[in-house]
Structure 1
Amino acid sequence: MLRIYYKKDKRLAKETELEELREIPMESLIWVDLQNPTVKEKATIETYFDIKYSSEEKSQEIESSSRFNEMEDELIINSNFLSIREKGFEYCPVSIIIEKGILFTYRDDDLKTFGESVKRIKASPGSYSNGFQILLTILETAIDQDADLIEGLAKRIAELNQQLTLRKSRSDEEILIKLSSFQNETMSLRENIIDKQRLISALMKSSTFPEEYMGVLRIMIKDISSLLEHNKFAFERLEYLQDTFMGFVNIEQNHIIKIFTVATVAFMPPTLIASIYGMNFRLMPELEWQYGYAFALLLMILSSAITLIFFKKKNWL
């Protein structure tokens, strides 16, 4: 899918047909966005503007030279954006190029960050005159989205904390799986935020990026630092919940072992009595006694009862 944004009569216009590209004046172009494009669309854009989008493999590399590269009149940026799935977060690499004030973006997924950015741009189209402003809006939207995700994650952690405290509605296995899932989401968010921090720091050092937008970048850095603190708190809270959960599990296991231990000890005296009367000696006084059987049973019951009473007085039960 191709989206071309350009200035037209003091407003922002949009074109989606590749054939209309040559009809748009080069000085009016602001943003060319490729989302899962056809081979023809990608090749035409690269040839027409003399640019080269980074491959998916290069976009995912962690080296600074692969993430940010500055030339005389061109910025080449590779960044990962979060794509929200049913089973959690996935990284979607985005190739970004700014050349002569025009922003070029290439991605495979329909990212929420880009959709929200377009809504902001449409709400105030007169405020955008170049690709640098579009990129700033995309980064601001990404930071806002990360803040929303952290807030939502904190709410779900609080709900899990309540369920863990009440010890109902979920089994131990479900709680453990949920804790692990939240930890993975927290780490994914942190990696995504740090990626944006590296990108913005590189833009602040850039000689190509306009000086007039440095104030906006400095505010973003402060926002990112705040998000990292919130993310750190969420991760520490998850560790606390995991320790609490394991404490509950250990208490339950100890209680079960305690029950088996008490039962074993309580039956030891009757077992001893039964063993004594089970010996095959010829001369045993109770063998021919009329009440010998009842006496042995009563003796076994009393020995168990005395043992349990002793445990109770010691508060071992």
Structure 2
Amino acid sequence: MIRAYDSAGFCLDAPAPDKGELPDAACWVDMLHPTPEEEKQVETLIGVEVPSRDELHDIEPSSRLYTENGAAYLTASVVWNADSEFPEITDIGFILTGGRLVTIRYGEPKAFAIFAANARRELEGLGGRDVISRLLEALVDRTAEVLEGRSRQIDLVSTRVFSSTSQSNPDTITRDLEAMLGIISGHQRTIAKVRESLMSLSRVAGYLQTLPEISGDKLVRQRCRSVARDIQSLSEHADFISENIVFLLDASLGLISVQQNQVMKVVSVATVVFLPPTFIGTVYGMNFQNMPELDLPWAYPIALMVMAMSAIGPYLWFKKKGWL
């Protein structure tokens, strides 16, 4: 699908496949899940090559940020679907050529929809360089929203983790903590993708400032610098959140170990308590003929009493030590 917008943010009619021209007012051409035919059509319309999906996946900086035939090619890895349990990273290509911006994307980050909806009041009629700087702002703002949302959720998880130990049932505590591990890992997965996205956006913002058409426009250049500072600030915040997640993960694992140790302690105490009675019962369960105690009239009650005392003694001692 191809959408075209003018410098005032109005959506224009998409170019027909049989027409080899773009509206003169078009300054942004947005390609969403383009087919090979649409790629060839746009190449004909703008006069430069459009990278394929496989080319967008290249991770070498030289393949992501370069200038060729008077056109600047930039590729950013952007997190999307971040509100779900399985966020993804999508590679978005930017081509800045002839005062126009062409975007190639195979994902649908919310930032693009938000920017397209607000473009009419945000764009200042400066062409493609205005659009790409505003798009970067929208992507960074959306990333900030994701971080804020995850930060609040992690605070709730922290409260649940440390309040779960107030329950009296160790099995319930362990199950709750094990459930928390899955939630914590989900947050860590999202934050990791956000950090990857911020790193990629930082490279794009830095390279963008070196382009002549950007460096020559004071307003756009200042906006790109502001975006770069915001990215740096968000990266530090993402690092802080990541450290909190690691702490929660370690705390959860530690609390699970404590609960398991409590169970093992109870089992160990029970084993020690019942060991002396078991020993006594085993001794008098042997089938030897010459056992004088067996002929005594009170041998059986005495044996039971000794077995009970041998069990009660260790129990009281453990209780006095506070091990129960």
TM-score normalised over the length of structure 2: 0.89
Query: Unaligned stretches of 5+ in structure 2?
Result: 165-171
Encode CA deviations 1:279-312: one digit per residue, 9 max, x unaligned: 3333323212222111111110111001111122
After superposing the two structures, state which structure 1 stretch, 305-314 or 228-237, moved more: 305-314
Question: SS of the residue aligned with 1:267?
Answer: helix
Residues 13 and 281 (structure 1 numbering): CA distance in 2 closer, same or farther, change over 3 Å? closer
What is the match of residue 286 of structure 1? 293
What is the match of residue 121 of structure 1? 119
What is the match of residue 241 of structure 1? 248
Give the distance between the partners of 2:68 and 2:293, measured in 1 at CA.
Answer: 106
Give the distance between the partners of 1:67 and 1:176, measured in 2 at CA.
Answer: 36
Give the distance between the partners of 1:71 and 1:41, measured in 2 at CA.
Answer: 21
Residues 179 and 25 (structure 1 numbering): CA distance in 2 closer, same or farther, change over 3 Å? closer
Residues 293 and 216 (structure 1 numbering): CA distance in 2 closer, same or farther, change over 3 Å? same
After superposing the two structures, state which structure 1 stretch, 276-285 or 48-57, moved more: 276-285
Structure 2 counterpart of 1:254, one-letter code: N
The correspondence for 2:202, drawn from 192, 197, 202, is 197
Question: SS of the residue aligned with 1:311?
Answer: helix
Residues 280 and 131 (structure 1 numbering): CA distance in 2 closer, same or farther, change over 3 Å? same
The correspondence for 2:14, drawn from 14, 17, 34, is 17
The correspondence for 1:84, drawn from 81, 84, 108, is 81
Decide whether the 8 Å contact of 2:209 with 2:224 is kept in 1.
yes
User: Does residue 164 in structure 1 map to residue 169 in structure 2?
Assistant: no
Encode CA deviations 1:85-118: one digit per residue, 9 max, x unaligned: 6332111221211111111111123331111111
Give the distance between the partners of 1:41 and 1:72, measured in 2 at CA.
Answer: 21
What is the match of residue 226 of structure 1? 233
Query: Unaligned stretches of 5+ in structure 1?
Result: none
Larger RCO: 1 or 2 (CA < 8 Å, sep 6+): 2
Give the distance between the partners of 1:195 and 1:178, measured in 2 at CA.
Answer: 26
Structure 2 counterpart of 1:305, one-letter code: I
Residues 54 and 38 (structure 1 numbering): CA distance in 2 closer, same or farther, change over 3 Å? closer
What is the match of residue 102 of structure 2? 104
Give the distance between the partners of 1:202 and 1:282, measured in 2 at CA.
Answer: 97
Give the distance between the partners of 1:246 and 1:41, measured in 2 at CA.
Answer: 52
> Identity of counterpart residues, as a percentage?
28
Question: SS of the residue aligned with 2:81?
Answer: strand
The correspondence for 1:153, drawn from 131, 150, 174, is 150
- The number of residue pairs the alignment matches comes to 312
Structure 2 counterpart of 1:218, one-letter code: R
Give the distance between the partners of 1:175 and 1:232, measured in 2 at CA.
Answer: 21
What is the match of residue 180 of structure 1? 185
Give the distance between the partners of 2:61 and 2:37, measured in 1 at CA.
Answer: 30
